[in-house]
Structures are given as C-alpha cells and as structure tokens.
Amino acid sequence: MGYSKSVYDRADRILNERRLSAQRNAEKLRLAFYEANPKALEIEEQLSHTFTEIARTVMSGDKEQLEKIKEKNLALQQELNRLYDEAGVSEKALSPHYVCEKCSDKGNIDGVVCQCYEKLVKQIACDDLNRRSPLSLCDFESFELKYYPEENRRKMSNIFNYCVEYANTFSQSSDSIVMTGGTGLGKTHLALSIANRVINNGSGVIYISAPEMVSALEEYQFGREPSSTEITARILSECDLLIIDDLGTEFVTAFSKSAVYNVFNLRITKGKPTIISTNLSIAELEKNYTDRFVSRISGYCRILFFEGSDIRIQKKMEERQK
C-alpha cells in the first residue's frame, strides 16, 4: 500500500468527520430556515410528491396530466426561490459545504481515489515523521550573519537570501539543493527554516537525518513490523520536499550507498525537489559514495558552499563570558 494501515485509518476517520460535520452544519442551517419560513418546508414536501407523480404519469403515458404536474412543479420552485430571496439565502447556501467538493469528502469519485485523499495520507505520514524532528527549533528570523567573518559575510548573506526566496516561492519545480561546508556553519538552521516556511505555506515536507533514514529503510527492507511512523521509499519519494540532513554521518555500507542513491534518484525521476546538507566536500562525496550519485547531484542540484567559523563554538564562548 505504501503507507501503514494506521495512516489510512486516520485519513478515513478525518474524511468521515469532515463529511458528517458538513452535513450537520447544513442541517442546522436548513432547520433554522424552515423554522423562520414554515411555508418553505411545505413546498419542499410538495415538490418531493410531484417528482413521484411525474414518474407515475410518465409510465402511464398521460401527456396532458404530465404537463399539468410540470407546471405545478415549476410554480412551486418559483415560490421556493422567492422565499429564499426574501430570507437572503440560496439553496446552495443551505447545502453541505465539503472540504473537497469533488468527492464530497468521501475520498473517492465513482470508485477512483480522489486527489484530496492522496494528499491527506501523504500529509499524515509526513507529520508522523516530523514529530521526531527538531522543526520548531529554527526559523529565518533567528539566523544571525554576525557570526560569520567579514570576508564570508557577503557570500553567506546571499545564501541566506536565496534560502528565504526559495522557501517563499517553493513549488514542485523548485531546484534541489546541496548545502556543503564544515560543522556549525548554519546548514541545518537554514534547512530547518526552509522546512518550517514551506510547511506553513501548505506543502508536505519530510525532514530526516541521513543516519535515521538509512537505518529505517534497512529495518523496513529486512522485515521489521510496520508501525504508524514507518519510513519507506514511497513516503520519502512522494512528499513535496525531502530534506536529508547530515549526509555522510551515517554508517556507510553497500546498502546505505544504494539507499541514498535510490531515494534521491526516485525523486529526480518524479520531478520532486530534495535538499541535502553535508559536512563533506564534493570530492569527499565522490570518495564515500558513487560517481553516479555525485554526477546526479552535480547535474540536478544547486550547490551552496557554506564558509566561516563554527557558530556553535562562538556562542558557547559568548555564554562563558557572560
């Protein structure tokens, strides 16, 4: 199926709650309208009878009687519309307002899965994974350029501005990015800031460290019992934006090399953006992974080179001096 059973169960419950809520709200509005306009309820009941009468008359072949019933039906409709106008409402306004008007929050259209359902299960799966990520720790507002040496500050300012613009204008046609540079230079901070902004703008994002991703894929590959937060290649390939943090800190094996390449390549095939942060240089990536993987990165990613001094060390020194 691609996602765990609990993800689908929750999606079903959410859609059912949406549908029932829309129907309950519509029923309250209709009852309030009928209470203020009892004549409208009478007309509704009469209209329901005329539909039955029309069906019977069609079967009997009495064309003269059929015309009379149609005229009666038209007069009732006109009277009902007049009452709607006087009350300042419409029949549509008193109907259920579903989140998805296409499928009426049923999740399918004539047995075909609706896009709203696909989006919902994807979002639930993303949310499950991101609960374990430090998404709330960073935003663009808390990023400080003052910690970069003067000779690097302009370059880092350009990178910062690019990341803000990237997050604000994110779409499925956005670039994939590799953030490379030493430890403590703000790669994770900016990646998390992009994730937060993109999520707030309504897209599905998965933020995951390379070690966690590889470990989870390995466990899933070799038969671990599925859980509500299982990580599969499908989940990682279908989210709107995948952010892989700390590539190169995972235990490098034949499986990890293959897993990293397959996830990245699958997203390229689907035209979905990926952001990778790593302490490794491009030359070190070539050494640790495969030429094919690095070739893919070079061909499909915008590479951002982070330069400066470890910000975490600078902050610790500031704290000690207080």
Cβ proximity of 147 and 314 under 8 Å: yes
Query: What residues have CB less than 8 Å from 112, skipping those under 6 apart?
Result: none
pLDDT at 322: 66
Judged by phi (left if over 0) then psi (alpha if -120 to 50, else beta), residue 204 lies in: beta
> 69-92: string of b/e by CB count within 10 Å (b at 16+)?
beebbeebeebbeeebeeeebeee
Query: H or E element: which one contains 177?
Result: strand 176-181
Enumerate the domain spans of the chain: 5-116, 131-321
DSSP-derived secondary structure for 8-68? HHHHHHHHHHHHHHHHHHHHHHHHHHHHH-HHHHHHHHHHHHHHHHHHHHHHHT-HHHHHH
pLDDT at 227: 46
Range list of H helices, 169-302: 187-200, 210-221, 233-238, 254-270, 282-288, 291-300
Q: What does the alpha-carbon distance between residue 259 and residue 215 come to, in Å, rounded to a whole number?
A: 10
Report the relative pairing of strands 112-113 and 108-109 from DSSP bridges: antiparallel
Residue where the block lists tokens 């299982």: 230
> Which range, of 119-133, 162-176, 307-321, averages the lowest pLDDT?
119-133
pLDDT at 228: 41
Q: What angle do CA 155, 157, 161 make, to 5 degrees?
A: 120
Q: What is the mean pLDDT of the chain?
A: 85
Judged by phi (left if over 0) then psi (alpha if -120 to 50, else beta), residue 37 lies in: beta
| Torsions phi, psi for 105 (to 5 deg) | 60, 30
pLDDT at 224: 53
Q: What does the alpha-carbon distance between residue 146 and residue 180 come to, in Å, rounded to a whole number?
A: 20
**Would you place residue 114 in the very low, low, confident or very high pLDDT band (cuts 50, 70, 90)?**
very high
Q: Helix or strand or coil: residue 108?
A: strand
Q: What does the alpha-carbon distance between residue 280 and residue 305 come to, in Å, rounded to a whole number?
A: 11
| Of 105 and 80, more confident | 105
pLDDT at 6: 76
CATH code for 131-321? 3.40.50.300
**Would you place residue 91 in the very low, low, confident or very high pLDDT band (cuts 50, 70, 90)?**
confident
Judged by phi (left if over 0) then psi (alpha if -120 to 50, else beta), residue 302 lies in: beta
| Of 291 and 175, more confident | 175
Q: Which of 35, 235, 217, 42 is nearest to 124 (CA)?
A: 235
Residue 49 has pLDDT above 80, yes or no: no
Q: How far, rounded to the nearest angstrom, does the alpha carbon of residue 29 sit from its chain's CA centroid? A: 32
Q: What does the alpha-carbon distance between residue 149 and residue 250 come to, in Å, rounded to a whole number?
A: 30
Residue 2 has pLDDT above 60, yes or no: no
Largest separation between any pair of C-alpha atoms in the chain: 99
**Would you place residue 151 in the very low, low, confident or very high pLDDT band (cuts 50, 70, 90)?**
very high
